[in-house]
């Protein structure tokens, strides 16, 4: 029996019909091209990696723009929802949209209650971010919720233990890595930014191109800096550095300045 291919989970946030300089936004027709590339890779089995699509935050564009593209190609994705924003925060999905996603066969998971970085939460806050988020989703959607993704990708041993205690069987991270099947309790993902071209994405699926290993090195350097400096100092430094280099990870800098938004 042949081994199933390793999965590469891609992480999207918001789609917009027009090009945006904000790096966490992907243009809708670009996304459509990405999905067609993923379909081709899946069908032709030309890569050692099998692409999977995930969305974080629960932006309304996931329903308006991503769902029709996925639906027309019979592709299932994961949608990780900031539960406290649902039907509350302008620009984000309400319960009707989430039920429609679910009804179309898409997979729903949690992305915390308020998008607070879980590493910054004390125990009662973790309870709300994890357990209240899961129970509310289950109650409103009438299904069991067993997956979640980490706001800002932040975690430590305490957070992972709290996720398990709150009933999540799988936690989707922002660690760029391929996942052998069946995936374990922590599932790595690759953040897709608006400036990543189709050519780049094609190379990502060719291990010999070195794109994935380059991302992994970059991630390791950032992780080391976060450990050495601590989260908050790292965020301030990153924001400061990016003011001088607006083209490098500007979205991430903006997101770190305002951790209640995006990754």
Using CB under 5 A, pick the residue from 14, 52, 57, 235 that binds Zn ion. Answer: 57
- Least gap, CB of 150 to Zn ion (angstroms): 8
Q: Answer whether 102's CB lies under 8 Å from 141's CB.
A: yes
Nearer to Zn ion, 41 or 196 (CB): 196
CA–CA separation, 180 and 229 (whole Å): 32
14 part of the interface to Zn ion, by CB under 5 A: no
Binding to Zn ion, residues 63-102 (CB under 5 A): none
* Window 126-155: contact mask with Zn ion (x via CB under 5 A): -------------------------x----
252 part of the interface to Zn ion, by CB under 5 A: no
Using CB under 5 A, pick the residue from 52, 56, 249, 252 that binds Zn ion. Answer: 56
- Least gap, CB of 149 to Zn ion (angstroms): 7
CA–CA separation, 107 and 198 (whole Å): 25
52 part of the interface to Zn ion, by CB under 5 A: no
Helix, strand counts (H, E) of the chain: 11, 10
What is the SS3 assignment for 259? coil
- Least gap, CB of 153 to Zn ion (angstroms): 8
CA–CA separation, 236 and 12 (whole Å): 24
Nearest to 172 by CA among 190, 199, 193, 157: 190
CA–CA separation, 118 and 29 (whole Å): 33
Query: Contact positions toward Zn ion, by CB under 5 A?
Result: 56-57, 151, 263
């Amino acid at each position: 029996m042949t081994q199933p291919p390793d999965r590469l989970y891609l992480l999207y946030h918001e789609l917009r019909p027009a090009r945006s300089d904000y790096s966490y936004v992907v243009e809708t027709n670009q996304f459509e091209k990405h999905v067609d590339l993923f379909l081709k890779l899946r069908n032709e089995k030309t890569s050692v990696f099998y692409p999977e699509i995930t969305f974080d935050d629960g932006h309304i564009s996931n329903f308006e723009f991503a769902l029709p593209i996925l639906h027309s190609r019979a592709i299932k994705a994961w949608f990780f929802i900031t539960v406290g924003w649902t039907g509350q925060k302008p620009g984000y999905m309400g319960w009707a949209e989430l039920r429609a996603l679910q009804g179309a066969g898409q997979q729903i998971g949690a992305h915390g209650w308020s998008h607070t970085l879980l590493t910054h939460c004390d125990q009662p806050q973790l309870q709300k971010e994890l357990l209240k988020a899961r129970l509310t989703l289950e109650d409103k959607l009438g299904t069991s919720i067993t997956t979640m993704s980490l706001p800002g990708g932040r975690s430590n041993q305490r957070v992972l233990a709290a996720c398990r205690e709150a009933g999540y069987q799988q936690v989707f991270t922002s660690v760029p890595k391929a996942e052998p099947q069946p995936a374990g309790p922590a599932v790595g993902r690759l953040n897709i930014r608006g400036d990543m071209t189709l050519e780049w994405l094609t190379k990502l699926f060719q291990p010999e191109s070195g794109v994935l290993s380059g991302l992994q090195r970059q991630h390791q350097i950032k992780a080391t800096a976060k450990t050495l400096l601590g989260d908050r100092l790292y965020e301030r430094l990153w924001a400061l550095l990016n003011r001088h280099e607006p083209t490098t990870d500007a979205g991430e800098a903006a997101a770190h300045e305002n951790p209640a938004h995006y990754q």
